[in-house]
Structures are given as C-alpha cells and as structure tokens.
Amino acid sequence: MKKKHSVIQIDIANRQYVFVLAASYIAVCMIVVASIFIMMSSWFRGYIKEKVYEMSSVQLENITENVNHQLDYYQVSLQNLFMEPHIKASLYTNQSDAINEWNITRYLQYAVNNDGYIDYSVIYQKGRLKQIIGHVYPSEEEQQEVLEKLQSTQHDKQVFFINNEETSQRRFFLFRMERDSLNGPPQRGVLYAINQSKISDMLLASEDDKYSYLVFDKEGNLILSQNEEEQAQIEKINESASAAQGQLRELEIGASTYFLTSSYSSDYQLNFVQLMDISEMDKVMGAYFKRSLIWVALVLIISCILATIVARMIYKPLKRFFKRISSYSRLEDEPSMYGDSIIQMTSEKIISQISEISRQVHTDQVLGFLEDEPGEALMPSVLKLREQERVLLLYGRSKIGRVDGKQARSLFEAMGKALSGYQTKMFSEENGWYCVYLICEKALIKTEQSAVISLISDVLEQQQRMGSNLYLLCSDWITDEHDFQSEFRKLQEFSKYVLFGECDQVCDSSIFETKKDEDVPKKLLQPVIDAAKCGDEIQAKQLTATLLKQLSGYEIKKIFHALSYFSTELENVSVQVPVATKKYQEIYMMHYIKLSSLINQKQLYDYLSNLIEDACLEVNTYQERSIRTDMLSALEYINSHYQEPELSVEQVSEVIHISPSYFSRMFREISELSFPEYVNNLRLNYASELLKTKRLSVKEVAQKAGFSGTSYFSAQFKKKYGTSPSSYRNETSKSE
C-alpha cells in the first residue's frame, strides 16, 4: 500500500491574514522610522563633532602661536645674555673678579626680576652649574637632574621638565648652549628655569571653563598645564593626543567626557592638547533625544493607523484574487513519484536556463569584441586559436530584416551535421541584425576553402527551401586570432553588395576584393537625373535599373557616395539647394545613412524610385502650372487682338515664347477648340452685335470684326447662325 504524503494547505483568503498584512506594514513602518531616526541622530552628532573640531583647531592654533611666541622671546633673551661681554668672558675663561661677578649677577637678576615667570637663571660651563641667580635656589638633587637632562639634549630648541616632589614645584627649562659638534653635548651657555604654574596661567588662560589646555614634550612629559592632573590621567591624555593628530576624539576622564584635539609644533617639538568638557552638551543632547523619541512615537502611532487602513483596503481585492485561484485548482496529495518527476523537470529546466545564460554571456563577449576597435577590448577565450588551428568566419544576414533566431539555430545544427569533421560555433543575439558562425579546423587537414563553402552552400540551399531567408559571407582561412576583427569588418562591409544582387547564398569575400577602387563617374548618373528633370518618370526608372547593375562593379563605399550624390541631386530638383552649402551636405549625409541601412535590392530600388517619383511629380506640376499661366496670357492677348485680320498662331506663340505646333496642341487641350475656331467664334459674336446695333454695311461689319474678305465672313456667319448677315439684321429689326 502506497503511503500518501500529507500536504499542508494554506487558505490565504482567510480573514485572519488582514491582521498579518497589517502587522507586516506596521513592522516595515517601525523599521523605516527607526532607521531614519538613527541615521539622523548619527549625522547630527557627526555634524556637531565636525563643527567642534573646526572651532577647536582655530583656538588651539592661537594657543600654539602664543606659546611659541613666548618661547621665542626667551630664546632671544638667552641669546642676549650669552653674548653679554662679562658673561661671555666668564664662560670662556676661568678668571673672575669681584666687578665681573657683580655684573654677571646683575644681568641674571635683571632677567629674573623683569620677567616674573623665571624662578632662576644659570650659567653653565663644562658639566657644572657655575652660577645660579633667582628667587628660588634649587636643591642639590634638582641641580643634578638639571645637569643630566641638559647634557642629554642635542640642540637649543629642546625643552625639558623637572618636577620637584619635595616642594611640589614644576619647572621647565630653556637654554642657549655652545657645543663642540653638531648634536653634541653642551659645553657652555645660559639657561632659564621657568615656573610651570605661573606661565601656564598666563599662556593657557581661557575665558570658557569648558576648555583646558596642556602641552607635552616629545617624551610625553607635561610641560604646561592649567590644572593639577594625576600622573595616570596625564599618561592617558598624552596617549590619546598622540593618536588623535588631525582628528577629534572622545576621552573619558573620571566622571567627565571630553572632546580632545591635538596639534604638534615642530619648532620646539611640543604637542599641544585641548580638552573640551562635553558633559553639559551630553545633557542637552539627552534632552533633545528624549523630545525626539516623543515625536518618533507619534509618527509610529500614525504609521500604524495608516498601515491598518491600507491593509484593510488591500485585503478585499486580495481575498477575491485568491478565491478565484482556489476555484481553478486545489493542492492535492500525490504519490512520491509525481514529486520526483517534478524535481527532475525543475532541475533540467534550471540547467537549461543556466546553459542559456552562459551561452548569451559568451555571445555578448564575442560580438562586443568583434564590433570594437582593434586593441581596445580583451579577446574572449573562445576566439583564441590553438596551435595549428585555423578558422572560417561566416557572417550571416537576413534578406528581410532581423535574423530569426530559430532559422539561425536550424542552420547551425544543419552545418554541424554536414561538417562532421569540423567544430562549429554560433554567436547570435536574439532577433539581432546578424549572426556569426565559426568553422574550426585543424591545420593538418588542409581542406580547400572552396570545398567547405560548397558544403555550406548545399546546407543553406536546403534551409532556404524550408523558408530560411539567411545568406552568408565567408572569410579566408584565419590562422592568426588577431585577424578576427579586421575580417569581421570586411564581411560587414561586403554584406552590402546584397543591395545589388551580389549575395544570394554563400559568398566568398575574395570575390569582392577585385571591385574598382575609384570614384563612380558622374556621367553614369547624369542620364537618370536628366530624365527626372524632364519629368519622364518611366525612362528614369528604367535607367535606374541599368545603373544599379553598372554600380555593382565598384567598391561598396564608392557606390554609397555615388548614390548619396545621386539621391541628393534628385531631391534637389524640387528643393533647389545650392551645392556648396551646409544644407546640401546635411541632405547628402542623410541619404548616405539611409542608403547604408537598407537590407535588400528591392528596398534600394524602391528608395530611389520614390525619389524619382517625387522629382518627376514636382517637374510635371511646375510645367503644368507654367503652361496654364502661358495659356491664360495667350487668351488675354487673343481677346484683345482678334479684330486684327493678321492675328495668327505664330504671332500668339511668339508672345508666350513657345513653338506654334506646341501652342496649337496645348490650346486645343485647354479650350477644346482649334485656334482658328476660337478666333472665328470671337469675331462672329462681335459681328452679330454690330449687325444688331449699328447701321453698317456687311462689308464694314466684316472688316471691323477682323475678317479679311466679305465672302468668307458671310460663309462663316451662315455656317454658325444658319442665315446670311443681311437676313440676320432684318430678322432682328422686325423682332425689336
């Protein structure tokens, strides 16, 4: 007994899914609103940090300039002391006297008293502090530490720091020394011991309590500071400052949070640090965050209400839709074999789709490479030739337009069977303008190209009998893969010979290389243009058919240039555009583009025939308008001069400048009377009026009406009115 597999059925049209739909919308709304809130908060905090960093950088730069300026001042003061004659004499000699000692003491004391920040000044000579003057006298331990640190210096721009733990005094030292060698130990000079606390209050003073400043030397020793900091905090600040060059960092010290900005000065190898207490700002930001949460909650509530409304609006049509689906088919239990077959069919379909995608990718790569300029695209691996391999490149086009994909694949399969010893490849876009086939052969076989073309011709002939409209152009054997692009372009160009009936099935490209590479003589085109200018449409079309056969012997580019000139001249019959103008060139290029996009011989002939018809219609219309105008002028002249006996066809035709015979023919077509009949009618009508109103003799009436003789007048009058002129007068007199 076969075991049935139970299938869970889900009724999506059930009313409970309106709540699922609403919950989904609400969840999406919450995610979107939360994401926007988080992004806005992050952006706002980043914006605040950026502005704080810009402001802090300016303030820190000002502090750096102030400190460097003060240190430069001390360096100048030390230089002046060093150059003072009494001090210099003491430094370079061991001799001393009371007066010299008194002068040295006076200078050193003046430097200390005049500044207010110097605790003491020192004269240094060869490893000993020779003389110390100031408000404070250092202990032996401090003097020893000063000597050690001074001897470790390499130049006068260095600053060192000493912390006297006994007196809780911090001092940093500036000096002017003479050295025996570059970066060598100092030999003699002067130095200042500067009170750190006093000068920090002066140099690092800030109007805002949120800001505090510190200055470190390159070893991380604190040189200047506004506040008393613990050693652990100093090390933490120095470490963060070293890592924060050029950026803003957050730093927590105790219960407070700071923004830290640092700037390094290479003049004295000092690192300047600004700390900004942001505890208050965090409180403000917290309050802002709480207010924002209230607005977010309101937005979420509104979004939930809208989501519920939208869900109910969507639910009804969705319910009808799924009910309709469920009425057509229901999911039922099926045996395992059915499920296995479905899986197999699905797998085959997936594999087929993957294969089709892969084939299309290769096609796009190959066709893109062939259409690209040489050297600008990478060659696809499928076009790379193996050793001793050669290839025939076949370029396929349709005689009616785009290439039918089914016809292209059918031809490919048929060629694969007919050319069993060769490897065939096809590259064709779906409903593209062309397709490409490759016939690959090992060079050892050495098959003649004509033999391969003969086999392909037989295959294509069978395909054409089955309704195919493809034709092929074949390249020479390609042995160098770098020739693919040039051969492809050559075949594209040669495919245009189908417009002249040159390509029917399979064409060897070599037959087109013997075409004339010279401009088409204008004398071949002129007879058609002249016939069109004369309005002779039939002759112009007959000459065009002959012209196309003559043009097929020229190179295709020369033909298109000749036909573009030919088309422009035909259009110029009606448009009348001067040759050496931009407009003429635009018309020429328009025809060149249109001609080169034509597909077959019929399209080319129809294109040229339409131009001929338009030109002839314009010529004939113009001629007809001109003839009618001339005939009106002739009638006006006749009506004014019919009383003159010498009026003749020659006289009137000369007035309107046409031949007498052509005038007579056109006059009869328009008036439906010959010239003598029309003139006699005018004269007889005038004579009848004279007979009614004037007391003139018949002879006088004949002369006034324009007749040269009385007998001819009487005969013509009787012919029209059925009576003689005399009788006509008597009858009209009686009736009156």
Instruction: Name the pLDDT band for 7 (thresholds 50, 70, 90).
Output: very low
- Model pLDDT for residues 137-163, shown as the tens digit of each residue: 888 888 888 888 888 888 888 888 888
Provide the pairing of β-strand 470-474 with 506-508.
parallel
Check residue 216 and report its DSSP letter.
E
Higher-scoring residue by pLDDT: 246, 108 = 108
Q: How far apart are CA 721 and CA 38, in angstroms?
A: 114
pTM over 0.75: no
Predicted confidence at residue 601, as pLDDT, reads 80
Query: What is the rounded distance in angstroms from the CA atom of residue 432 to the CA atom of residue 413?
Result: 19
Whether pLDDT at 574 is above 70: no
SS3 276: strand
Q: How far is CA 732 from its chain centroid?
A: 95
Per residue in 405-426, pLDDT (tens digit) is 888 888 888 888 888 778 888 8
Q: Under 8 Å CB-to-CB from 319, ≥6 apart: which residues? A: 13, 15
Determine the Cα–Cα distance for residues 144 and 159; give it in Å rounded to an integer: 17
The length of the chain in residues reads 736
| Other Cβ atoms within 10 Å of 162 Cβ, number | 19
Residues 373, 376, 380, 386, CA torsion sign: positive
Work out the burial of residue 68: count CB atoms within 10 Å of its CB; fewer than 13 is exposed, 13-18 middle, 19 or more buried. Answer: middle
Task: Give the pair of three-digit tokens for residue 321.
Answer: 């839709």
**Residues 591-629: tens digit of each pLDDT:** 888 888 887 788 888 888 888 888 888 777 777 777 778
In 3D space, the residue among 707, 704, 684 whose CA is nearest the CA of residue 694 turns out to be 704
Distance from CA of residue 385 to its chain's centroid?
36
Radius of gyration of the chain from its Cα atoms, rounded to whole angstroms = 56
The four Cα atoms 47, 49, 50, 54 give a dihedral, to 10 degrees, of: 140
Once rounded to an integer, what is the mean pLDDT over residues 555-577?
80
Band of residue 634 on the pLDDT scale cut at 50, 70, 90: confident
What integer best gives the mean pLDDT of the chain? 78
| The two structure tokens encoding residue 692 | 């009614």
Query: Which tokens hold the place of 736?
Result: 């009156």
| Angle, helix 660-671 to helix 675-693, in steps of 10 degrees | 60
Instruction: Count the alpha carbons within 13 Å of 132 in the hemisphere toward its beta carbon.
Output: 15
- The DSSP letter of residue 162 is E
Position 10 scores a pLDDT of: 42
Mean of the pLDDT values across residues 695-710?
83
DSSP for residue 245: B
